[in-house]
A = this chain, B = another copy of it.
Amino acid sequence: MDSSRKLRVAVDAMGGDYAPAHEVAGTLAALKETNNAFEALLVGRKQDLEEQLQKSHPTGLSYSIIPATEVITMEDSPTAALKQKRDSSLAVGIRLHQEGKADAFVSAGNTGAVLSATTLILGRTKGVSRPTIGTFLPAEGGPCLLVDAGTNVDCRPRHLFEFAIMGSIYYSLVTKKERPTVALLNVGEEKGKGTEVVNEAYKMLESSNVNFIGNVEGRDILRKKADVVVCDGFVGNIVLKFGESIPGFLKGRLSKFAQEGMVRKLIVGLAKGTLKNALRDFDPNVEGGVPVLGANGISIIGHGSSTPTGIKNMILRGVEVARAELHKHIEKALSASRSAEKPEMSLPAGAYKGE
C-alpha cells in the first residue's frame, strides 16, 4: 500500500438494520474521532445518503458518496441477491476494493451475502483452503478469540490448522500480543481425546510454529485458558448462540423470581441493572465487526443491529486491519506452512502501528 496517501474505506451505507442512518452517523463519528485519518467512501443510494448527511451538517470531514442503486436486504438469499442485484451497495463497495479504489470494505448487512461477495469477488488469500470468521469473547483476563465462529460446518484437519494460524495472526494484530496461545476446543485436555478430525489437527499444530498449548474444554473458553480457541463452525455457531441466549434466560429467571413478592421485585430490579453493567462488554458494538480471515483483501462484517458506535468501531477495525495488511501476513504464514518452513505466527514488530 502506498503509505503517502490516505487509506480509503468503502462503507456499505445501505447494509444494516438501521441503514443508512446508523451507517452515516457511524462513519462521521469515525472520521471525527481519528481526525480524518482515512477517507470514507459511502456506498449507496445517492439521494438517501444526501438526505441523511444533511441532517448532521458535517463539515471538514473526508468522505464522498459512491452511488449504488440497489439494496440487498437481510431477507434476501445471499447468492440469488448477488446475481440479481448487481448494482447493490454491497457489490459496488466490494468491487471498489477489488479494483484498488478502496483499501478496505466494511458492511453491517446480510452476513451470508457479505461472506459470499467477499469470497466471490475478492477471492481467497493464496494458501487458504477456506476463509473463516472469528469472534472475540470477553473472557476472564482478556479477550478470547473463538474461530471458526460459524462459517465452515464440515471441516477437515487442514481447515482447523489454517483457522489456528489465521486466528493467531488476527489476535496478535488486535491485542498486540506477540505469540498468542492457541488451543483446540475438545472434550478433554489429554492428547487423543475427541474426534478424528480434531486429533489430526492436534498433530499438525503440535509440529507447527503456532504457540499451541493443546486442548481446552467448553468450560475453559470464558476462563481464558487460551487466547485463540479453534473449532469447526458447527461447534462455534452452537456455542456462540447458546451463549447469546443466556442473558435473556437469566432475565426470565429473575423476572419469575420477582413475581414472588415486592421485596424480591426490588432486589431483582437492582440485580438486573447490576448484571447489565457487569456484562456491558458483551455488547457486540464494542467489537464493531470482524474481518473475513483468508479473504484476498480486507472485508469486515458487522452486526446487522449495529448502533452508530458499532458502525464506527467496525470502520476503525477496518482501518486498523487494512493498515496492518492482515491478508498479506496470512498469505505469508500459510504459504510457509505449505512448504517445509514453519509459518510465522505473529506480525513483525511495528506492523500494526500504522502508516
Q: Residue on B with the closest CB to A218?
A: B241
- Chain B proximity mask over A224-258: 1 for CB below 8 Å, otherwise 0: 00000001011101111111111001101110110
Q: How many copies does the complex hold?
A: 2
A222 located at the interface, meaning its Cβ lies under 8 Å from any Cβ of chain B in the complex: yes
Contacts of A153 in B (CB 8 A): 187, 193-195
Interface size class of A (residues with CB under 8 A): 35 or more
Q: Do the beta carbons of B154 and A195 come within 8 Å of each other?
A: yes
Q: Which of A263-301 contact B (CB under 8 A)?
A: 264, 267-268, 270-271, 274-275, 277-279
**Cα distance A251–B242 when bound, in Å?**
19
Contact partner of A219 (CB less than 8 A), chosen from B218, B245, B277, is B245
Given contacts A153-B194, A267-B274, contact A187 B238 (CB under 8 A): yes
Q: Do the beta carbons of A249 and B187 come within 8 Å of each other?
A: no
Q: Do the beta carbons of A245 and B218 come within 8 Å of each other?
A: yes
Contacts of A310 in B (CB 8 A): none
Q: How far is the CB of A284 from chain B (nearest CB, A)?
A: 14
**Cα distance A233–B193 when bound, in Å?**
12
- Chain B proximity mask over A10-47: 1 for CB below 8 Å, otherwise 0: 00000000000000000000000000000000000000
- Chain B proximity mask over A176-191: 1 for CB below 8 Å, otherwise 0: 0000000001110000
Given contacts A153-B195, A268-B274, A278-B253, contact A239 B237 (CB under 8 A): no
**Please, could you name 10 A-B residue pairs with CB atoms under 8 Å apart, sorted by A?**
A185-B238, A187-B237, A194-B234, A221-B245, A223-B245, A231-B238, A254-B274, A257-B277, A264-B274, A268-B274
